[in-house]
Amino acid sequence: MAEVTYAPTEDLDLIRSTTRQFLEEKADLGVVRRVMMTDDGHDRGLWSGFSEMGWTGLLVPEDYGGAGLGYLELSVVLDEMGRLVTPGPFFASAVVATTAMIELGSSDQQERWLPAMASGEKVATLGVFEKARDWGLEHLRTSAVEEAGVWKLSGTKRYVLDGHVADLLFVVAKVGDGLGVFVVEADSPGLTVSQVPVLDPTRRQAVVELDNVVAAARLQGGSSGLARVLRLGSVALACEQVGGAQRVLESTVAYARTRHQFGRPIGSFQAVKHRCAEMLMKVEHAKSVAYHAARVTDDLDELDIASPLAASVSSEAYLWAAGESIQIHGGIGFTWEHEAHLYLKRAKSASLLLGDPRFHRSLLAEALSL
């Protein structure tokens, strides 16, 4: 494993400060609540703001109109977005789908689709899961058959992040015994996309039904390439989770400092004080694994360890912190008006989206050959 450094560079600090400033101005929790209650949970104004900031193209090579940056820089943006439970298809499109195209797309395919994705003009998403606990993709049924040089897809993809606002769907389908990833345009005949209500209303999902849909292209690489895309997605999600966890810690500590009971700030009671300290420790641990993973994405072997490590540790830390935050806030933390539930919903949902902690630990066991 190559030498890794964790101390933030000036560049990263700059990305963080500009990201935080933009989000606090344009996407504070008031905005989040508004977008959260809209039909499709996608605010085009905000989205074009992301594009102007260069985030939609952050990972995209400069040749295709992107910033040509990597997961290290991305991790900082996601950290800040997690902090404010930023709504919309950023994770689905600018992270997962973009990563898929970069990892699996031919140069022609990248040239054809990446520019529009980088500019934010087209929203893309990856349609991969079908069964509720089949994160290992062992029971996929959606299949692709080649007829006269064109691939036709049939099946049903569930849990497709922001599929209802996607212009491009990258659909995983069985090809014989293997898997393939296919590009499907949202307006293709035979394609039915229906949004489904979700626990975390800041990150929507759709069910995608394909009835003999003609794919615009097949990306390269099968299961292993796809696995790498999912590993990278998990790293990105972990970075987002630690941002949320850090915010939960800060708001909880702030409340514990000021809220009085029995004539004392509740933070002076060890029941609260020690839980805040444990929260700090868990959040620090989560940051460490997430930041580490974001720094080793080019090291295939290390990524196989770092990704599930980050995913399992960050998921548990965030969910625990979000839950304890409500407990420490008491009744007020249980109200719709308070911000606490936004983080609880994000934390629980994120802990399941790409695999629950047990699944990630099973990947880790494999990587460590335990």
Partner 1 sequence: MTDTIERRVDTVVDELLATHPPATTSDQELWGAQYDLGVAWVWHPEGFGGLGLPRKYQNQVNRRLTDAGASVLNRYQNLLGVGMGAGVLAAHGTDDQKRRWLRPMFTMEDMWCQMFSEPGAGSDVAGLATSAVRDGEEWVVNGQKAWTTLAHVAKWGLLIARTDPSAVKHEGLTYFVIDMNSEGVDVRPLYQITGEAEFNEVFFNDARVPDENRIDAVGAGWRVALTTLMNERVAIGGNTVPRGSGRISEAIDIWRESGEDDPVLRDELVHLWAEVEAARLTAIRANEMADAGIPGPEGSTGKLAWASHNKEIASFILDMMGLDGTLYPGGYELVRPTSFDQRTPQASFLRTRANSIEGGTSEIMLNILAERVLGLPSEPRTDKGLPWNEVPRG
186-225: which residues touch partner 1 (CB under 8 A)? 196-201, 205
Residue that has been written with the tokens 């409340």 in this structure: 255
Q: How far is the CB of 271 from its own copies (least distance, A)?
A: 4
Nearer CB in complex with its own copies: 42/329: 329
Closest by CA to 55, choosing from 84, 83, 20, is 20
330-359: which residues touch partner 1 (CB under 8 A)? 330-337, 340-341, 344-345, 348-349, 352-353, 356, 358
Binding-site residue total for its own copies (CB under 8 A)?
4
Q: How far is the CB of 237 from partner 1 (least distance, A)?
A: 12
Backbone angles phi, psi at 265, to 5 degrees: -60, 135
Q: How far is the CB of 36 from partner 1 (least distance, A)?
A: 9
Q: How far is the CB of 252 from its own copies (least distance, A)?
A: 17
Cβ–Cβ < 8 Å for 136, 262: no
| SS3 assignment, position 200 | coil
251-270: which residues touch partner 1 (CB under 8 A)? 253, 256-265, 267-270
Q: How far is CA 198 from CA 17, 41, 179, 195, 354, in A?
A: 31, 11, 28, 9, 15
Which range binds partner 1 by CB under 8 A, 22-30, 51-59, 133-141, 229-237?
Answer: 133-141
According to the binding rule CB under 8 A, does residue 327 interact with its own copies? Answer: no
According to the binding rule CB under 8 A, does residue 326 interact with partner 1? Answer: yes
For 20, other C-beta atoms within 10 Å of its C-beta total 18
According to the binding rule CB under 8 A, does residue 17 interact with partner 1? Answer: no
Residues in Cβ contact with 360 at an 8 Å cutoff, skipping those fewer than 6 apart: 234, 307, 308, 309, 311, 312, 315
According to the binding rule CB under 8 A, does residue 265 interact with its own copies? Answer: no
Backbone angles phi, psi at 136, to 5 degrees: -85, 0
Of residues 292, 297, 304, 321, which one binds partner 1 by CB under 8 A? Answer: 292
Query: What is the distance between the alpha carbons of residues 11 and 96, in angstroms, rounded to a whole number?
Result: 24
According to the binding rule CB under 8 A, does residue 150 interact with partner 1? Answer: no
Q: How far is the CB of 225 from partner 1 (least distance, A)?
A: 22
Of residues 10, 108, 263, 270, which one binds its own copies by CB under 8 A? Answer: 270
For 174, other C-beta atoms within 10 Å of its C-beta total 18
287-322 burial by CB neighbour count: b if 16+ within 10 A, else e?
Answer: bbbbbbbbbbbeeeebbbbbbbbbbbbbbbbbbbbb
Closest by CA to 60, choosing from 111, 22, 131, is 111
Query: What is the distance between the alpha carbons of residues 210 and 144, in angstroms, rounded to a whole number?
Result: 10
Q: How far is the CB of 33 from its own copies (least distance, A)?
A: 35
Of residues 131, 257, 264, 274, which one binds its own copies by CB under 8 A? Answer: 274
**Residue 200 interaction partner, one of its own copies, partner 1, none, beta carbon < 5-8 Å per kind:** partner 1
Which range binds its own copies by CB under 8 A, 15-23, 66-74, 85-93, 264-272?
Answer: 264-272
Of residues 135, 170, 182, 318, which one binds partner 1 by CB under 8 A? Answer: 135
Query: What is the distance between the alpha carbons of residues 285 and 301, in angstroms, rounded to a whole number?
Result: 22
Binding positions for its own copies, rule: CB under 8 A = 269-271, 274
